[in-house]
Amino acid sequence: MRHFYLATALMAAFSLNAVADEASNVLNSTPEQRASFQSQYMTEHLGLAAAVAAKVQVINLKYAEQMEPILKGTDGRLGKMQKSRGVLAAKDKELQGVLNPEQFQQYDGFKDEMKTALESSLGR
C-alpha cells in the first residue's frame, strides 16, 4: 500500500521513463521540487502557454505542500489514502478551471498511465 502513496504523489507528474527513479526519490524531495517537476512536465506535454503554466505552477505547489504531511505522516494506510484522494480531487478541480478541456483530458490520461506504470515498475 505504501506504493499507492508514491503513485498518488507522482500521478500526472512524471514521464513514464522517470517513474522508477522518481518513486524512490519522492519521499526525499521537497514540495517545491515536486511541484516544479510536475509543472515542467505538464508544460512540455500539454503545450501550456506561459500564462497557463504560471497558474499551473501555483496550483501544483499548493497541493504538493498539502501532500507533504500526508506523505511523511504516521497515519495508517487508509487514512493516508483518504487524505490524498481529497487533496488530489481538489487539485483536479482547480486544474480543470485552468486547463482547456483537451489539456485536462490529456492530464487525466497521464494520471492513469503514471499509476499503471508505477505499479508495474514496483511489481504490483
pLDDT per position as a tens digit, 40-82: 989 999 999 999 999 999 999 999 999 999 888 888 878 888 8
Its sign, for the CA torsion 123, 91, 34, 109, is: positive
pLDDT of residue 4: 47
Q: Indicate whether 18 pLDDT > 80.
A: no
Task: Report residue 49 as a C-alpha cell.
Answer: 502557454
E strand or H helix at 45: helix 31-46
- Rounded alpha-carbon distances, angstroms, from residue 56 to 39, 52, 118: 6, 6, 23
d(C-alpha 121, C-alpha 42), whole Å: 22
Q: What is the pLDDT of residues 21-31, one digit of tens each?
A: 554 566 678 99
CA nearest to 4, candidates 26, 31, 33, 35: 26
d(C-alpha 115, C-alpha 65), whole Å: 21
- Regarding pTM above 0.85, the answer is no
